[in-house]
Amino acid sequence: MSVTNGNHEPFREMLPAYALDALDPEEIPMLEAHLDTCPECRAALKQYRAVSDGLLLALPPKSPPPRVRARLIARLASSRAPSASAGRPTRPLWQVGFGFVLVALLLLNLALAIQVRSLQSQQALLTQQLQANQSALAVVAYPGGRTLSLTGTRAAGTLILNPEMNTAALFAWGLDPLDPAHTYQVWLIQPDGHRLSGGLFRPEPGQPFVSHVIASPRPFSEFTGLGVTIEPSGGSPAPTGPRVLGTQF
Ligand SMILES: [Zn+2]
């Protein structure tokens, strides 16, 4: 038996509330029986569920979505008139409107949550950059620092280090921007030729230079030089990509 729009529409309007577990319990068996036979309503339900699941995932951890939801449902319940319906169920106009309002609220919340998240990650990135620059300045200002030129085919830079210390500041100009799948990796060269990782960095878009603080496991006097290569995002245990900068100590 095919479903016509006439007896299909009432179920459509129950879907937003059903997706939020806010449907009247007595309406659930009727809707679920219809869902079993109607792929269109199942598809629509899937979309509503995606919105409500996405909202819960996207919200910052401090927000209490279940409490907000409970309050919304409670307010709705208090404004609802008791229905003494018999026979074929019809959807009161306010309930039809509620479906749209609910979806609009969900979308608005989702948009706000995404905005908050983007601002949070921007702030974290700026804080990270500020800390890196402050550490680099501290290394530069430390007495007895040595300044070495970093040379490469396209890029150039400066390395400031104190041979007795384990921290150095690297400044590089002219490094190509990288796609998200790649990173620059610093290598400390041991006398036996082995390379130890000196950390990862990537230029920020629109920045003419990049600064990176190298934290070495041992004093720099125990290494013979330094190199920078392009590696897959997350770094490599040993250099695999092209060398773009380097120097001898
Ligand atoms: Zn249907």
Going from the Cα of 24 to the center of ligand 1, the distance in angstroms, rounded, reads 18
Going from the Cα of 36 to the center of ligand 1, the distance in angstroms, rounded, reads 9
Portion of the chain with pLDDT greater than 90, in percent: 27
Going from the Cα of 4 to the center of ligand 1, the distance in angstroms, rounded, reads 9
Going from the Cα of 58 to the center of ligand 1, the distance in angstroms, rounded, reads 29
Going from the Cα of 71 to the center of ligand 1, the distance in angstroms, rounded, reads 29
pLDDT at residue 120 greater than cutoff 60: yes
Domains of the chain (ranges plus CATH)?
A: 5-117 (no CATH), 144-248 (2.60.40)
Mean pLDDT, residues 200-217 taken together = 85
Going from the Cα of 80 to the center of ligand 1, the distance in angstroms, rounded, reads 25
Confidence of residue 74 (pLDDT cuts 50, 70, 90): low
Going from the Cα of 89 to the center of ligand 1, the distance in angstroms, rounded, reads 15
Predicted local distance difference test score (pLDDT) of residue 98:
65
Confidence of residue 222 (pLDDT cuts 50, 70, 90): very high
Predicted local distance difference test score (pLDDT) of residue 4:
47
pLDDT at residue 3 greater than cutoff 50: no
Q: Which of 55-64, 142-151, 182-191 has the highest mean pLDDT?
A: 182-191
Cβ distance 227 to 243 under 8 Å? Answer: yes
User: E strands along 96-215, which residues?
Assistant: 146-151, 156-161, 167-173, 182-189, 195-201, 209-215
**Residue given tokens 């950059």 in the structure block:** 129
Higher pLDDT, 74 or 197: 197
Q: Rounded to an integer, what is the distance from CA 82 to the centroid of its chain?
A: 45
